[in-house]
Amino acid sequence: LQAFAQDHASARGDYDDRIVINRGIRVQPAWETIESAWFALEERLAAVGGICDEIAAMLSQINPGDILDRDAVLAEANDVYEEGEKLRSGLSRIIGKDDRATVCWLATNRREGTPMLSSAPVNVAETLKAGLFGSRDSVVLTSATLSTDGGFGYIKSRLGADDAREVMLGSPFDYKSSTLMLLPSDMPEPETPGYAVAVQSALIEMVQASEGRALALFTSHAALRTAYNGIKRTLEEQEILVLAQGIDGTPRQLLQVLRENHRVVILGAASFWEGVDVTGEALSLLVIARLPFPVPSDPVFQARSELFDQPFEQYAAPQAILRVKQGFGR
């Protein structure tokens, strides 16, 4: 896998390269080598799984008092068996099968050179219908970020809930009196050389004005690290602590610092766009550095885009709208 990834890596300077495993990839001789290696490994994994299963069966028949920590050893044997089966079925689904309903890809971490195989269903609607909606009398879905363009059409089609009844309720928050929303019109284009410096200058100016109490959301860890290196010294000279996800601690640790010491700005990506709740004045400034459109080269996005006649309007834009709503909710 590592050799295959190196031979097929793109020239992009991304943190990792993702190779979509499509039919064009599967017919290449180098992929046949991977398949042969997998089939040999699969036999050994099956054999190990069989041994773990036999051990578990044997332990279950032994009196708990006859062997030290029998229950713990039995649980561990079962865990090893289940993990092995999960690994075997997952790799078989990616390497051993060519299922057009599933998108598969090979990624390589450029820091460590570690290959990673991943897969995802192209459409989750049928899975949800079979495993959730179809087996229950009723299912209630609630969220502050389910609607786009004034309706639920997008999310219903994605979830396979086309026949669901719907209701849209107003917000309990008085945004008109509590919130000021600003959209700068003088920022350079994101791909131009001056963009990063402009973002850093804007961040410094805004965080100085709010005296910390800030969260800045980024769409990539690379952009986050660039901003972190550009603003940290200036702000910390003014006793405003700059913390970044993936550098200074876990999201939970960073948020706890913000709650306890308001002269803080957190730079976050991914997990900070949703599920983060800091009440009161501890979080008074939210900065969204860039609209969170999906990455065009992402394998799942590419595969799902092919389901639409107008991928940008019907898929990319609604995705970004939902993400902005989630970010704004922080």
Residue 261 to residue 258: CA distance in whole angstroms: 5
Instruction: Give the model's pLDDT for residue 275.
Output: 79
Q: How distant, in Å, are the alpha carbons of 17, 32, 120 from that of 8?
A: 9, 15, 21
Edge-to-edge strands of the sheet including 102-109? 16-20, 102-109, 115-121
Tokens 């969260």 locate to: 215
Contact 107, 16 (CB under 8 A): yes
**Reduced to 3 DSSP states, what percent helix, strand and coil does the chain have, rounded to the nearest 5?**
50, 10, 35
Residues in the chain: 330
> Roughly how many angstroms between the first and final C-alpha of the chain, as a whole number?
40
Give the model's pLDDT for residue 34: 93
- And the tokens for 174? 């008085």
Q: Find out whether 71 and 64 touch, Cβ atoms under 8 Å.
A: yes
Distance in angstroms (rounded) separating the CA atoms of residues 26 and 29: 8
pLDDT tens digits in sequence order for the chain, 330 residues long? 988 888 887 544 444 578 889 888 899 899 999 999 999 999 999 999 899 889 888 888 888 888 888 888 888 888 989 999 999 999 998 998 888 889 999 988 767 778 899 999 888 888 898 888 888 899 999 988 888 888 898 888 888 888 889 999 888 888 889 899 999 998 998 888 899 999 999 999 999 999 999 999 999 888 999 999 999 999 999 999 999 998 998 888 999 999 998 899 999 998 888 878 888 888 999 999 998 888 887 888 888 888 888 989 888 998 898 888 888 887
Rounded-to-integer distance, Cα 48 and Cα 58, Å: 15
214-217 vs 264-268, strand pairing mode = parallel
* The 214-217 sheet, strands edge to edge: 241-244, 264-268, 214-217, 285-288
Torsion of CA 274, 277, 283, 285, to 10 degrees: 20
- The residue whose two tokens read 């990673």 is 116
* C-alpha distance from residue 141 to each of 129, 166, 175, 279, 325 (Å): 14, 9, 24, 25, 17
Q: Shortest CA distance to 282 belongs to which of 186, 190, 187, 211?
A: 211
Task: Provide the pLDDT for residue 10.
Answer: 58
Strands 16-20 and 115-121, by their bridges, are: unpaired
